[in-house]
């Protein structure tokens, strides 16, 4: 499966969350998808719209998307080779934070998502576990028509710090054939925010990027671009 980008809209197959303004771009998606697009269902949710896509773009008819599919074996090899230097760079950057770093990171992040597609990767879902908050557990359990207690018993464990995590990896809600999440609409907040590239002030989130640099191709590429811009 692949991703498609149209202006401010980036769509990973499965489910997209769009603002009313972005809905106007839907016709452009249809035009670009052509015969490979089957259909969609719009489900309004307050001021956002969830779009379930039932179509696919064929890579043969969308060559511009090929470079966004991640070769995880190659990435893991590259990450093992360079993680030490990239983590060292982040440590130095944290101690001597450049002026305007948050704006620089935001600008770089936009370029990163033109190179990396989450649905062309899904490594976080394959090797990591999100932290489930009480709200997450309640919301997902309701979606699955079960109780929070039963949901935790079946899928989660409580770690030494009291956080609720997946019992195993890959994530039980990941479809390994498509890299799509079966509970995307109600996924944990930790998943929705990952990889947190510009979520907070950069200096306060360096420790997360140091961990994710060998797990997330988007984080790796962001740090690499930062290092290149020194």
Q: What are phi and psi of 171, to 5 degrees?
A: -60, 140
CA distances from 158 to 8, 132, 153, 162, 193 (A): 39, 10, 10, 6, 21
Report the alpha-carbon distance of residue 185 to residue 64 in Å, rounded. Answer: 28
User: Looking at residue 28, what DSSP letter applies?
Assistant: H
Exposed, middle or buried by CB within 10 Å (0-12, 13-18, 19+), for 179? buried
pLDDT (tens, 9 = 90+) of the chain, 230 residues, equals 334 443 334 444 444 444 444 444 544 444 444 433 334 434 443 333 344 443 333 333 333 444 578 899 999 999 999 999 999 999 999 888 878 888 999 999 999 998 898 989 999 999 999 999 999 999 999 999 999 999 999 999 999 999 999 999 999 999 999 899 999 999 999 999 999 987 768 888 899 999 999 999 999 999 999 999 87
Provide the terminal-to-terminal Cα distance of the chain, rounded to the nearest Å: 35
Residue 198 is predicted with a pLDDT of: 79
CA distances from 206 to 155, 189, 213 (A): 30, 20, 10
Q: Domain boundaries in the chain?
A: 3-65, 69-124+195-228
Residue 156 is predicted with a pLDDT of: 98
Residue 67 is predicted with a pLDDT of: 53
Torsion on CA atoms 164, 12, 127, 64, rounded to nearest 10: -160
- CB count within 10 Å of CB 90 equals 19
In b/e form, how buried is each residue of 188-214, taking b as 16+ CB within 10 angstroms?
Answer: bebbeebbebbeeebeebbebbbebbb
């Amino acid at each position: 499966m692949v991703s498609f980008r149209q202006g401010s809209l980036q769509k990973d197959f499965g489910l997209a969350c769009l603002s009313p303004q972005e809905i106007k771009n839907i016709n452009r998606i249809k035009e670009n998808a052509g015969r490979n697009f089957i259909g969609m269902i719009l489900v309004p949710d307050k001021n956002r719209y969830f779009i379930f896509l039932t179509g696919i773009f064929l890579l043969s008819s969308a060559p511009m998307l090929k470079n966004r599919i991640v070769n995880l074996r190659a990435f893991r090899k590259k990450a093992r080779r360079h993680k030490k230097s990239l983590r060292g760079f982040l440590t130095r950057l944290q101690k001597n934070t450049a002026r305007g770093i948050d704006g620089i990171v935001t600008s770089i992040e936009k370029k990163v998502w033109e190179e990396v597609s989450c649905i062309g990767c899904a490594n976080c879902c394959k090797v990591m576990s999100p932290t489930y908050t009480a709200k997450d557990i309640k919301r997902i359990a309701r979606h699955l028509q079960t109780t929070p207690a039963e949901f935790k018993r079946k899928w989660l464990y409580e770690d030494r710090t009291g956080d609720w995590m997946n019992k195993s990896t890959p994530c039980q809600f990941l479809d390994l054939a498509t890299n799509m999440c079966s509970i995307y609409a109600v996924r944990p907040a930790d998943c929705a925010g990952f990889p947190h590239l510009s979520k907070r002030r950069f200096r306060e989130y360096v420790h997360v990027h140091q961990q994710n640099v060998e797990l997330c191709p988007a984080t790796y590429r962001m740090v690499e671009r930062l290092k290149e811009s020194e």
